[in-house]
Amino acid sequence: MKKFTTILFVLVTTLVLNAQIRGNNITVNVQPDHKDWNYEVGENVNFVVSILKSGTLLDNVKVDFEAGPVMYPDIKKQSVVLKDGTMRFTGTMKRPGFYRFKVTAHVDGKDYDGLCTAGFSPLKIKPYAECPEDFDEFWSNTLKDARKVSLEPTRVLLPERCVNGVNVYEVSFQNVRLGSRTYAILCVPAKPGKYPALLRVPGAGVRPYSGDVYTASQGAITLEIGVHGIPVTMKQSIYDDLANGALNGYWEANLDDRDKMPYNRIFIGAIRAIDYIAALPEWNGTCLGVTGSSQGGMLSLVCAALDKRVTFYGAVHAAMCDHIASLNGVACGWPHYFYNVKNPDTKKIKVSGYYDGINFAKRITCPGWFSFGYNDEVVPPTSAYATFNTIKGEKTLSLYQQTGHYWYQEQWDEWEAWLLAKMGINKIQIIKL
């Protein structure tokens, strides 16, 4: 009896500790009147707003709202009272793009946001990016100079991360110059053989990495890289200090100098990661993919454009595309270099062209998978479509309109399935993790 009581106590305690906070009791729903959220230029979109408490309409709620082209709302209203918790709004666009309606409800001293973004002839969206005349020469020479430096790889087994069937290592190799190193987590099937490979490139920020053990367990080499030249297995506090210190705002440092700009090293580091994979005796020599989201989506475009050994890529809400669109009053991709900037530096404008995803997208020929959401406020669908429309090679687009700068589980699962299929891995193997 005492033993049973102890077990019951442990169980109850565990359930309490694992309880999760999910969502809000107050929700702001904004929906368009077309199921696919798409309209033709000149057509009207009718948004329907519902403010709900416990799933039912909330009476006499005060809201603010704004509407207009993404990142450039031209209608703003405050303190509008919705007597029955609902409202309707009609908008339109005269050129291809995206129109966003955003609502903030004020309830009991707290704010609750909701938004919806409608596409107007999105397949006709064209980028504003200008490609420098020496774009190809610059990247060819930069990569050639980097490859004069040997990789000098290191590999350290991480026994605590190894699972049945997968060996996990922290590795490093030189990238753009002597002493400048890329650190990464390498996962290799323990069973001897030749395997396809997948390079995972990271989103923006400073963080440790765990490696892609799951994909490796299905029968592939995976390499998950960091981009800041620091080990990827340190405690979180170190990365927090760097993010708030030396690496704070790294994405906009030296934007007026194409050689010193941090993304010069980051882009080349991603290509040197392909060099590293290609030198692995376990690689099958034929199948090599690259994938990532946000900044990682951009790096996927870079790798697919600059290295023909890449046989497929997956770019999810790819950042850093169509920088100068904002100079024309159109939504640009993160990090929004020139958004609301008066009298932008002409040197920065010129340099940004060497680091614009549009100019890499023009050079991609291998198959790609794209996915993004219309409600993304970091990487707007305007720049996402401008990039997708630029691609001339084989491409697949899987839209999850309601998402912002995040994933739905179904989206993640579809992404993983596409990557496995491209590597010829169709049967899911179950292992004990």
d(CA 404, CA 380): 9
Residues paired with 116 in a beta bridge: 101
d(CA 167, CA 161): 8
Q: Are residues 243 and 159 part of one domain?
A: yes
Banded pLDDT at 18 (limits 50, 70, 90):
low
Q: Are residues 221 and 108 part of one domain?
A: no
In a domain, 389, yes or no: yes
90-105: average pLDDT: 98
CATH number where 82 lies: 2.60.40.1930
Q: Are residues 201 and 101 part of one domain?
A: no
Q: Are residues 216 and 77 part of one domain?
A: no
Helix residue ranges, H only, 208-344: 213-217, 236-244, 262-278, 295-306
Taking the CA atoms of 136, 138, 144 and 146 in sequence, report the sign of the dihedral they define. negative
pLDDT at 430 over 50: no
Q: Are 350 and 380 in contact (CB under 8 A)?
A: no
Q: Are residues 151 and 115 part of one domain?
A: no
Domain end (from 79, 105, 124): 124
Residue 169 token pair: 């290592």
Taking the CA atoms of 122, 124, 130 and 134 in sequence, report the sign of the dihedral they define. positive
CATH number where 274 lies: 3.40.50.1820
In a domain, 295, yes or no: yes
Banded pLDDT at 21 (limits 50, 70, 90):
confident
Q: Are residues 139 and 69 part of one domain?
A: no
CA angle 408, 410, 412 (to 5 degrees): 70
Pick from 58, 113, 197, 163: nearest CA to 432: 163
pLDDT digits (tens, 9 = 90+) for 166-176: 999 999 999 99
Q: Are residues 141 and 62 part of one domain?
A: no
pLDDT of residue 12: 46
391-401: average pLDDT: 96
pLDDT at 136 over 90: yes
Q: Are residues 205 and 106 part of one domain?
A: no
Q: Are residues 117 and 155 part of one domain?
A: no
In a domain, 118, yes or no: yes
265-276: average pLDDT: 98
Domain end (from 124, 147, 178): 124
Domain end (from 92, 124, 156): 124
Q: Are residues 253 and 106 part of one domain?
A: no
The better pLDDT of the pair 428, 53 is held by: 53
pLDDT at 15 over 60: no
Pick from 154, 155, 138, 134: nearest CA to 146: 138
Q: Are 42 and 67 in contact (CB under 8 A)?
A: no
pLDDT at 161 over 80: yes
Q: Are 45 and 32 in contact (CB under 8 A)?
A: yes
Banded pLDDT at 14 (limits 50, 70, 90):
very low
In a domain, 294, yes or no: yes
Q: Are 270 and 296 in contact (CB under 8 A)?
A: no
Pick from 391, 389, 142: nearest CA to 263: 142
pLDDT at 9 over 50: no
Q: Are 323 and 381 in contact (CB under 8 A)?
A: no
Q: Are 402 and 177 in contact (CB under 8 A)?
A: no
pLDDT at 8 over 90: no
Total structural domains in the chain? 2
Banded pLDDT at 11 (limits 50, 70, 90):
very low
Q: Are residues 139 and 101 part of one domain?
A: no
How many other CB atoms sit within 10 Å of the CB of residue 117?
Answer: 26
How many other CB atoms sit within 10 Å of the CB of residue 230?
Answer: 18
CA 237 → CA 169, 181, 182, 246, distances in Å? 22, 21, 20, 14
Percent of the chain with pLDDT over 70: 94
Q: Are residues 161 and 80 part of one domain?
A: no
Domain extent for 224: 135-422
pLDDT at 189 over 90: yes
Q: Are 294 and 172 in contact (CB under 8 A)?
A: no
In a domain, 411, yes or no: yes
Phi, psi torsion values for 56, nearest 5 degrees: -120, 155
d(CA 433, CA 430): 9
Burial class from Cβ neighbours inside 10 Å (0-12, 13-18, 19+) for residue 90 reads exposed
pLDDT digits (tens, 9 = 90+) for 294-307: 999 999 999 999 99
